[in-house]
């Protein structure tokens, strides 16, 4: 079973690229972020034609998350992260697919820091940690996947010194990520590749991808029973090099049946 996460950076503008990638990677489950599409413009028919059922939580222009399932319809279990009824951003959706509870998330960027956006990011992280703890208590297979907008360690940044004060790398944010993982989650990529430089995002600026000036900010966190099934984990860098690429590459894991 292959589960992927992919920040598409606009699902309508990049639909041909997404369809091409789905056909070549054949993931069973896909978590998408940054749809940048209202719900009524989500390309459900094209995805259905490509063999994927979908649920989505969009909004105009910004944010937006979706879960795709190959050959089936994801069974939605939640939309929106608990803990703040006034949070209007579409950043969390969750579904049961083939015996796994899949939470797809787009954590706030948080720049500029300090400031209101950074405070919102930290609050969102706290809400995520509170909710993630309740998922672990269920003792069922759970995958939390998405763009967490945090580089966990220096190994995850091409130039750590330049990112110290950025909202994606400040100590408070790394500590929040560490507290979340320490609840009992397994960071799939880092667990299988403890010493490797792995990036999932390269800015559009300054030829970053060609220079491999990247960041690892897209993560798959596994509950214990899923971690026991983890076979492989990798970044599909091909898609970052394609025409009209997103600034993120897809990341996937393979689980034993």
Q: Which residues lie near DNA (CB under 7 A)?
A: 9-14, 36-38, 60-63, 108-109, 111, 117, 162, 203-206, 244
Overall residue count recorded for the chain in this entry: 257
Which residues are registered as beta bridge partners of 248?
201
Q: Give, for 94, the enclosing helix (H) or strand (E).
A: strand 92-97
Cβ contact 91:106 at 8 Å = yes
The yes-or-no answer on residue 154 being catalytic is: no
- Contacting residues for 244 by C-beta, under 8 A, at least 6 apart: 13, 14, 16, 17
Nearest approach in angstroms of CB 41 to DNA is: 8
Q: Cβ of residue 77: shortest distance to DNA, in angstroms? A: 25
How far is Cα 142 from Cα 144, in angstroms, rounded to an integer?
A: 7
Tell me if residue 106 is catalytic. yes
Q: How far is the CB of 89 from DNA (least distance, A)?
A: 8
Which of 106, 131, 177, 199 is flagged as catalytic? 106
Q: Which of 28, 52, 131, 147 is catalytic?
A: 147
Nearer to DNA, 206 or 211 (CB): 206
* Closer by beta carbon to DNA, 36 or else 70: 36
Helices H, strands E: what count in the chain?
8, 14
Nearest approach, Cβ of residue 55 and DNA (Å): 19
Q: Which residues are catalytic?
A: 106, 147
């Amino acid at each position: 079973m292959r589960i992927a996460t992919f920040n598409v950076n606009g699902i309508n503008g990049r639909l041909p690229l997404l369809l091409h990638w789905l056909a070549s990677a054949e993931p069973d489950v896909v978590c998408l972020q940054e749809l940048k599409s209202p719900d009524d413009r989500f390309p459900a028919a094209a995805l259905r034609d490509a063999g994927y059922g979908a649920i989505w939580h969009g909004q105009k222009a910004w944010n937006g998350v979706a879960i795709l399932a190959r050959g089936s319809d994801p069974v939605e279990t939640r939309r929106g992260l608990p803990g703040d009824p006034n949070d209007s951003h579409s950043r969390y959706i969750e579904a049961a697919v083939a015996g796994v509870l899949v939470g797809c998330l787009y954590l706030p960027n948080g720049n500029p820091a300090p400031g209101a956006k950074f405070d919102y990011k930290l609050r969102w992280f706290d809400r995520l940690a509170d909710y993630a703890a309740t998922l672990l208590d269920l003792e069922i297979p759970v995958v939390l996947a998405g763009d967490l907008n945090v580089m966990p360690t220096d190994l995850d940044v091409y130039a750590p010194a330049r990112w110290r004060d950025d909202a994606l790398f400040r100590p408070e944010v790394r500590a929040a990520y560490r507290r979340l993982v320490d609840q009992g989650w397994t960071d799939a990529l880092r667990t299988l590749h403890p010493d490797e430089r792995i990036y999932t995002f390269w800015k559009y600026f300054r030829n970053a991808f060609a220079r491999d000036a990247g960041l690892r900010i897209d993560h798959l966190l596994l509950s214990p029973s899923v971690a026991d099934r983890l076979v492989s984990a990798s970044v599909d860098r091909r898609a970052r090099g394609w025409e009209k690429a997103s600034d993120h590459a897809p990341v996937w894991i393979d689980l034993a049946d």
